[in-house]
A = this chain, B = another copy of it.
Amino acid sequence: MSSLVDVAQAAGVSVSTASRVLTGSSHPISAKTRARVIAVAEELGYSPSALARALVSRSSRLMGVLVSDIVNPYFSVIARGVDDVASRAGYVTMLCNVDRRTTTEITRVRTMRDYRAAGLIFAGSGYVDDPREPELAKAVRQAQEQGIHAVSLTARDIGCRVIAADARAAAYDVTDYLISLGHRRIAFIEGPEGMVATQQRRDGFLACMENADLADGAQCLPGGFDFEAGHAAAMRLIAHPPLPDAVVAVNDEAAVGALSALRQAHIDVPGEISVAGIDDLRVSRFVGLTTVSLPLYEMGAMAARHIIDTPPEAAAGAAETTVLSHRLIPRETTARRRPARA
């Protein structure tokens, strides 16, 4: 409860002097005074108000991160990347779950603005032709004009810096790998309807199939980002034989769901059918899922570092895009295509 004036008084110095020693200012202070102030501050249990500090210095050490749902490992890994570099730099990360709702994103952006956050990280993807996107873009612009850095971790048209992996290429690459294993008829389990991330990954899949002259063997199934969606999609596949040679899901969680459904139906994976995903979550290692590794942790870390290292004046700067590389991780759920049983 004691403030700087209390400390100053008790130490018999002026507030400025107290401030200078407590902030570790380079301003010259006699060793004696310094020691006394520090001792008094400690004794009084002085806690410098980060609020007042941010107010007067016109810059906070707050970092906002907007995720769809922190329970989703895709996002929690990103959040961890953000917080690791943020906390190491003396920043505090503010977490916002937006449940993929653009309107919620807008309100959160405003809140982050009210807190004069140093930066704002959009971890989740947007929607195709989202009518709310202009409003979000406006909120972002207003934040930027205030010196708040905005970074998106997916390709997104809201006028901010983008640090992301190439989702389309990632999908292309797993598909290509499956084709290289001899698979011809491949099913793609899609993500949530209308999301850009869904579209990009589907596009990558389709482009690869077409380039391999396998467009006829391509099949897209409605799905979703979660286990249940992948499970359901696979069930539909099972219900309508013949099974494709392989299935690639929009992400690992759906892939694991599909895998689970197939094995429950006593279908041999990868013997009868190969399964692959995208993201390379922790769980994927455990189940041996072939996937594409995306640098999620690094994306969060890089975004945070960018925010910390770039002066506020540059917040409204050019919305450059940094594309991070991904990597195919072949594991045990995929195998060379088995010749058809006679």
Contacts and interface: CB of A to CB of B under 8 A. Distances in A.
Interface of A: 1, 45, 47-52, 54-55, 60, 69-71, 73, 76-77, 79-80, 83-84, 87, 92-97, 110-111, 113-116, 142, 145-146, 227, 256-257, 260, 282-283, 286
A257 B285 CA distance: 11
A114 B73 contact: no
Contact of A70 (B69, B79, B257): B79
A11 B142 CA distance: 21
Contacts of A256: 286
A18 to B, nearest CB: 16
B70 A70 contact: yes
Contact of A146 (B47, B95, B96, B227): B47
Contacts of A73: 71, 73, 76
B79 A113 contact: no
A24 to B, nearest CB: 15
Contact of A76 (B76, B92, B113): B76
A80 B69 CA distance: 8
A69 B73 CA distance: 12
Contacts of A83: 70, 95-97
Nearest to A83: B97
Nearest to A84: B97
Contact of A227 (B45, B70, B286): B286
A260 B282 CA distance: 14
User: Which 6 residue pairs of A and B lie closest in terms of their CB atoms, listed nearest first?
Assistant: A50-B114, A95-B95, A50-B115, A51-B55, A71-B76, A47-B113
Contact of A114 (B49, B79, B260, B286): B49
Interface centre among A51, A73, A79, A96 (most CB of B within 10 A): A51
